[in-house]
Structure 1
Amino acid sequence: MLTGAAPDVLRVDALAKRFAGGGGVVDVSMRLAAGAVTGFIGVNGAGKSTTLRCILGLLSPDAGRIEMFGAPADRHARRRVGFLPEERGLFPRERARDVIAFHARLKGLDKRAAFHAADRLLERIGLAERRRARVGELSKGNAQRVQLLCALAHGPDLLILDEPFSGLDPIAQGEVHSLFSEFRAGGGAILFSTHAMAAAESLCDQVVILAGGRTVFEGAVAEAAAASPHGAVVVTSDDGGLARAVAAVGGALTPMASRMGEAARWRVTLPPEVTHPALMRALADLGVPIFAFEPIKSDLEGAFWRLAAEARPVETAPAEARRVA
């Protein structure tokens, strides 16, 4: 593991990668320090998978720069990376111990060290008795844990994980959290892509939010939560009355979902100085029927939706994008 004052484990600057059919990324940047856990957040299609594939060398960027451990990323640096893809790629007839050792040997461990690592990790998460079980015989959660161990077996300095908690029950999630804590205590950095805002808030030191193919936020979780909009989610059958009440207090309306019968769900964004009771009074004065009124929490999810809504479309390229070194 990394020790002492080390350069950034990962640095991405102005990354761009477009596809002929549209989509991709146009301006993604992030920095990961040793021992840090970073959440990588974005809606489907925001460019998370494209970014991760460029970092891993599976795609060649059109512009930008990727560094690992203080130098341009190359195949030697990427041997120090463990990767868990969202797609499950283990052969169902392979035995758990064998497949973990196989991945460790792909990253440079000799046979004896690879099987020792597999046995140690299986023991660590309580699957030692299933080491001879075939992957296809394991539950979805246990198969997911085995695939995670494949990413850890060679002792990487950087873990890149795509939805690592998918299919895990609360007990298994707790074991994975513990593994993460041990990994980062040794100086390892973790970048994990997730849709689970609660997991990102509880595990991460910082988050990188992607929208429209761009980094729209990079910083501490608390700083992101502070960007959450002030307002409420309102369900009503009187759209016009709601619009008049919101306009009266200087707010803004955003529809949240298709109508359910006569009622619709709206996100109301308020100026910082306007309180929730002030909005409720405005609604009452106009006789607007309210089926639900839920104040928006100052949390990561609220900040994410605000920043994603403000993002520009992916088609416009950044003016100062640099060619890949």
Structure 2
Amino acid sequence: MDMATGEFSTPVESTRNLAIEARGLVKRFDGVLAVDGVDIAVPEGAIYGILGPNGAGKTTSLRMLLGIIDPDEGYRRVLGAENPQHVARRIGYLPEERGLYPSMKAYEAIGFMGALRGLPLKQGRARGKILMEEHGLGHAVDKQIRQLSKGMAQTVQLLGTLVHEPKLVVFDEPFSGLDAINQGKLEGLIRGLAEKGTTVIFSTHVIAHAERLCENIAIIAGGKVPYAGSVEEARDRIPAQVRLETRNSEGPWRSALPSSARRNGAFWDFPLPDSGVEPLLKALIEGDAGIQSLSIERAGLHDAFVAIAGEAAARDMVTQGAGDAA
């Protein structure tokens, strides 16, 4: 921070390969702290997930990053600009609250959304027709929004978010309300955007989407970010679990098992020792365990989320995900 101005000063080198950088973002509403010191760094071309239950501060954080609302404290830089509004035409944003004019034809709605981001209306409408054809909605090009199914209308709004070919796309809970088929299509679309070099950041309370799509994530709970980094590093916070089945029930090999090992029917379950699997295997073989099977399972992102954010936040995530599926 520059002590003379009270502003953060960030070296150019640190932001050269970042589409989004935020440090210490704070937001209060009517004196209530909604976001408390959020730090996020999103590399260019990445698929980046923000995980947390509803009410954790995800939407408020995204809106601060986009310049829809200003932080009370903190620093942000988006596509190289400290004022996100200066690069708004290079950004696509799909808010959690969906809304289209019901009397508009589908392709016109896409063109209208593009026009809001600076794309000429005629060009946006033409692209809208092409995008609808590419995404299996060619038969609905001339239908009014009110004539479309919920899933089709959501797809139209999604295409309107992308029609101006943004360099950064921000989705707020994009999977909510979609059936399994359309969720799969959206995951494919997100991967396709990243392959073309577009940066994608999305919020979700469904961990499975982030685990399948993201290399890097931020976990938000209670307005704070207890973890921001790679999915792999988050999973590695919990030791891999070993499941062992032996022919012999007793013998010198038992000393190779950690004290936390627990018998589960025909199997032994325990964390992989810090020394790794090779010394364990050697001790089991030399101790005449008679190995029938041995498997090693790494922790999933859900387990990492529980360890980082706590069981209460994880329960909220599961409950909200079940509500979406209902």
TM-score by length of 1: 0.71
Q: Within 5 Å, give how 1:8-23 maps onto structure 2.
A: 8-20=18-30, 22-23=32-33
Identity of aligned residues (%): 40
Aligned to 2:191: 181
Deviations for 1:133-154, whole angstroms, at most 9, x for unmatched residues?
1212211111111111111011
Which has more radius of gyration?
2
Bigger share in helix: 2
Pick one of 211, 217, 222 that aligns with 1:212. 222
Pick one of 107, 123, 143 that aligns with 1:113. 123
Aligned to 2:233: 223
Runs of 5+ in structure 2 lacking a partner? 1-14, 242-257, 269-296, 313-326
Contact 2:191–2:213, Cα closer than 8 Å, also in 1: no
Aligned to 1:304: 305
Deviations for 1:203-241, whole angstroms, at most 9, x for unmatched residues?
11111101121111111112212234899xxxxxxxxxx
Aligned to 1:47: 57
Deviations for 1:25-48, whole angstroms, at most 9, x for unmatched residues?
111011111211011001222111
Specify which structure has the bigger relative contact order, considering alpha-carbon pairs within 8 angstroms and separated by 6 or more residues: 1
Q: What is the Cα deviation at residue 21 of structure 1?
A: 5.0
Could you tell me how far apart the structure 2 residues matched to 1:50 and 1:130 are?
34
CA RMSD of aligned residues (A): 2.6
SS of 2:39 mapped into structure 1: strand
Pick one of 253, 258, 261 that aligns with 1:275. 261
Contact 1:211–1:307, Cα closer than 8 Å, also in 2: no
Pick one of 89, 96, 99 that aligns with 1:89. 99
Letter of the structure 2 residue corresponding to residue 37 of structure 1? I
TM-score by length of 2: 0.71
Q: What is the Cα deviation at residue 99 of structure 1?
A: 0.7
Q: What is the Cα deviation at residue 92 of structure 1?
A: 2.1
Contact 2:65–2:84, Cα closer than 8 Å, also in 1: no
Letter of the structure 1 residue corresponding to residue 304 of structure 2? A
Q: What is the Cα deviation at residue 157 of structure 1?
A: 0.7
Runs of 5+ in structure 1 lacking a partner? 232-271, 282-295, 312-325
SS of 2:97 mapped into structure 1: coil
Contact 2:65–2:78, Cα closer than 8 Å, also in 1: no
1:133 and 2:143 correspond: yes
Could you tell me how far apart the structure 2 residues matched to 1:133 and 1:123 are?
13
Letter of the structure 2 residue corresponding to residue 161 of structure 1? F
Give aligned pairs, total: 253
Q: What is the Cα deviation at residue 74 of structure 1?
A: 3.2
